[in-house]
Structure 1
Amino acid sequence: MPEPRFLDIEYCQTEDALFPVAMAWSLENGQMKTVVIAPDDSWIPDDGDLGDFDLLYLEEQGVPLIEIVHELHQDLPDQTVYVDGMDPDEVLVDMIFDAVDSEPPFEIVGIESLVTSLSREALDDRRRQLLTDEGLEPQLPENGVYALLLIAREEGFFN
């Protein structure tokens, strides 16, 4: 079995908006990539209210969607990609690909499909515990991917 791949997305959610703002995913060698996402204009609410997120920062530091889609096609072709299942990851991935009229090259599946020795609740608890033990901020997508990589290593999916 090839080594599993993981993905996590940080997102903006207000009364009028839901869209991805940062994303991380793991590579075949266990390393990861992370990007800030430049939002599509159609994602921005008319009142410009993004809650805690700074639109200027996202526009200036964010990677254009077409580049992100290109990277994901290179890094995750025909892959099963595991997510923590706590976020609307599938919706967010679809938003990214729909914005550039493309299809995701991978399938999103919850981590519980990979790690069957732990219940959904036990997986969530273990993920939170790893983030706490490592002193990591849970909202950063690279930390979410790192925690999933650690769980997969504990379960014997990596040498």
Structure 2
Amino acid sequence: MSIPRFLDIEYCQTDDALFPTAIAWSLEDGQMKSVVIAPDEAWVPDGADLGDIDLFYLEEQGVPILELVRELHEDLPGQTVYVDGIDPDETLIDLIFEAVKQEAPFEIAPIAELVTDLDAGTLEDRRRELMFEEGLEPQLPENGVYALLLIARESGLLDDLFI
């Protein structure tokens, strides 16, 4: 059984900037990868107000964009990758790939296109319930992916052994 792939991105959004700070995605076997992203210098204007984002941490601990793009190319080629549908995921993916002058090797779609027996609002409510029930911190992208995997399992789209 080929299981759906999921992705979640955490990001900085202020009046001065919008850029990804961390990303997680699921693999064919149900495992996931998660990385902090070292921002491209074009994403952060000089003197920009970044709210509570620790730019030094991202620069020191983050994965370089080129390395991230390489991993996404290896893990998700030709896939439809499902997201929660409430974040600017498509814009953030475009930023990542435009930084290295490439196109994403996958398509982004909201989970509502995969789980069609529930409307988008109900799916979002269920995702939030699962985050609470499982004690997951919503600001961690791997937790967002895990919640989407749980929804897919509840909907009969993957076996229990995958998660």
Instruction: Give 1:48 shift.
Output: 3.7
Q: How does 1:1-159 map to 2 (within 5 A)?
A: 2-159=2-159
Write the deviation string for residues 50-100 of structure 1: whole angstroms up to 9, x where unpaired. Answer: 111101000000000000000000000000000000100000000000000
CA distance in 2, matches of 1:141, 1:38: 15
- How far the C-alpha of 1:139 sits from its partner, in A, is 1.5
Identical aligned pairs, as a percentage? 71
In 1, are the aligned partners of 2:17 and 2:48 still within 8 Å (CA)?
A: no
Measure, in 1, the Cα distance between the counterparts of 2:116 and 2:158. Answer: 16
Contact 2:38 2:64 in 1 (8 A): yes
Question: Stretches of 4+ moved more than 6 A in 1?
Answer: none
TM-score (norm 2): 0.96
Aligned partners of 2:49 and 2:66: how far apart in 1? 25
- Cα RMSD (Å) of the superposition? 0.8
Identify unmatched segments of 5+ residues in structure 1: none
| CA drift at 1:141 | 0.6
Query: Which amino acid letter does the alignment assign opposite residue 152 of structure 1?
Result: A
Structure 2: tracts of 5 or more residues without a match: none
TM-superposed deviation, 1:46? 1.7
Separation in 2, partners of 1:118, 1:52: 35
Q: Deviations over 1:18-48 (max 9, x none)?
A: 0000000000000000000000001112214
TM-score by length of 1: 0.98
| Cα distance in 1 between the residues matched to 2:50 and 2:137 | 20
* C-alpha separation in 2, matches of 1:153 and 1:91: 28
* AA matched with 1:4: P
